[in-house]
Structure 1
């Protein structure tokens, strides 16, 4: 399994494979911003919009690709545009295909994004995730600190309002 940072052009070219990962993630019940069932065309459109943000440097995407060249995971960083926020980034869309879970890929993707953020001079990362989801174990074990929980923050893929926990991690020190 290789993990690569993709350019905006590469994200656009591989939007179909990224969309397959996103639809699988939503179908498995993960709360990543979409309701089920997520149509493939909607997922492709979402990734193509991200490609434009990658091309302008506002967003970074890493993809895990297996030996059959299938996208099995992603992680992204969203960089704020405000001058007083250039020291931080938001970690978004850490996803692992159901067929690749339990093999350490999520941890590898998380570590990749953390290293890249630190190399880019970011000293703080933050994220939000559904309270009680399996990803919380990963974040806590990787040194992320819970900052608080917001009730009824986002709808699950099934449409039920769920709480979200905010996490942060200081980098490089």
Structure 2
């Protein structure tokens, strides 16, 4: 498995593979911001916006590949407000169902930690569906649970989804 930090052009070129990865997650009823049945055009538009953010430097995208196939991704959006130059929002940790349980999520998150600290982003925040398999991963990776907001989002197939928020400090940073 190889973890790659994609640039804007690489992200644009990978849109079909990234769309298929996100579709796999939506089909698994993961709360990813899309409703079922998902709209291919809407998913592609989403990835085009990600590619633009990567090209602009406001977003980083890491991809995990096995034998040339993208099987996982994670993103960090760099806070753009002047009073938050140290913070990033972690988004869309996705691992294809057929390869889960191989440590891909852990490797993506560890690589993201490195990228963020190199960019001066030492405070990371994220949210995930309460009770999901993903929720169990984060504490094992050093994330601190903040709390739960009930009915925060909808699952792709409908029904309200409670959301758990986490944060993580990277390295010895000022308080």
Residue number in structure 1 paired with 2:164: 165
Question: What secondary structure does 1:118 align onto?
Answer: helix
Determine the structure 2 residue equivalent to 1:55: 55
* 1-structure distance, mates of 2:159, 2:78: 29
Task: Indicate the residue corresponding to 2:130 in structure 1.
Answer: 131
8 Å Cα contact 1:23/1:39 also seen in 2: no
In 1: Cα distance, 2:23 partner to 2:40 partner? 7
**8 A contact 1:15–1:47 mirrored in 2:** yes
Deviation string 1:91-140 (CA, Å, 9 cap, x unpaired) is 00100001110100011101111111112111200000011101111101
Q: 1:143-158 counterparts in 2 under 5 A? A: 143-158=142-157
Partners of 2:98 and 2:171 in 1: CA distance: 33
The alignment covers a number of residue pairs equal to 172
Q: Secondary structure at the match of 1:37?
A: coil
Return the alpha-carbon distance in structure 2 between the equivalents of residues 117 and 22 of structure 1: 23
The residue number in structure 2 matching 1:96 is: 95
The answer on 1:85 being equivalent to 2:61 is: no
Under a length normalisation based on structure 2, what TM-score does the superposition of the two structures give? 0.95
Q: CA deviation at 1:151?
A: 0.6
Distance 2:34 2:98 in 1: 20
Could you tell me how far apart the structure 2 residues matched to 1:57 and 1:12 are?
A: 14
Aligned-pair Cα RMSD in Å: 0.9
